Amino acid sequence: ELKVEQNPLFLSMQEGKNYTIYCNYSTTSDRLYWYRQDPGKSLESLFVLLSNGAVKQEGRLMASLDTKARLSTLHITAAVHDLSATYFCAVDSLIQGAQKLVFGQGTRLTINP
Amino acid sequence: NAGVTQTPKFQVLKTGQSMTLQCAQDMNHNSMYWYRQDPGMGLRLIYYSASEGTTDKGEVPNGYNVSRLNKREFSLRLESAAPSQTSVYFCASSESGGAPLYGYTFGSGTRLTVV
């Protein structure tokens, strides 16, 4: 059974600081995704990581993938208040003959001025 | 804008009532999914439809049924609602043929409360 675990689950940080969210998964994956969710809203796609060693950056967010360690990281550089949200990683894998997306629990990020 | 449309956005049901959540996509995607989101648990897959004419159970299917009406539409039915089904429900769609290169597109969600 594919399991996806994120840590930390809650993160409160100061503006201007750097931090990393970790995403571990238990079995071979085809793709790894990072999503952002604002309160009461749907999921916004941030990154799609396709292969080992993949690194993608958008503004103050950078995501990487290590398929050998089954680990992805979402790094936040010089955090700003607008990045406050819940971040999910999700792993796409062929399970019982069908492609399925399995989510981590989410990391609720609060950035304080 | 193209995407996934869910209706209704909010619903309150009494225990034992039934209802159908509607989902439609206009991206010509073959695969569609229903997830529920509960606090602290991420999103969990209820049912999915890999292609028109097929449906299968996900991680938490009990208490739900689905219908893939055509390529565009995938509905989720609660036959006899229970308080444990209070949740936010998301519909999603994706390209077919293996892991979608461009990911999954999610609807805006249906916030369901069962009292």
Q: What is the pLDDT along chain B (115 residues), one digit of tens a residue?
A: 669 999 999 999 999 999 999 999 999 988 899 999 998 778 999 999 988 889 999 989 999 999 998 999 999 999 999 999 999 999 999 886 555 666 788 999 999 999 9
Amino acid found at B37: Q
Average pLDDT over residues A49-74: 92
How far apart are alpha carbons A86 and B38 in whole angstroms?
A: 13
**Quick one: B46 exposed, middle or buried, by C-beta within 10 A (0-12, 13-18, 19+)?**
buried
CA distance A110 to A79: 10
Residue A33 backbone phi and psi in degrees, to 5: -120, 150
Which chain A residues are Cβ-neighbours of B91 within 8 angstroms?
Answer: none
Question: What is the C-alpha to C-alpha distance for residues B78 and B85, in angstroms, rounded to an integer?
Answer: 9
| A95 inside 8 A of chain B by CB | no
Query: Is A103 close to B42, i.e. CB distance below 8 A?
Result: yes
| Number of residues that this document lists for chain B | 115
> Of A3, A9, A32, A100, which to mutate for an interface test with B (greatest number of B Cβ within 10 Å)?
A100
Contact in structure between A36 and A44 (CB atoms under 8 Å): yes
Q: What are phi and psi of A34, to 5 degrees?
A: -120, 135
Instruction: Report d(CA B31, CA A80) in Å as an integer.
Output: 37
Q: From CA A89, how far away is CA A103, in angstroms rounded?
A: 6
Contacts of B41 in chain A (CB under 8 A): 105
Q: What is the largest CA-CA distance in chain A?
A: 48
Q: Are A105 and B42 in contact (CB under 8 A)?
A: yes
Percent residues over pLDDT 90 in chain A: 75
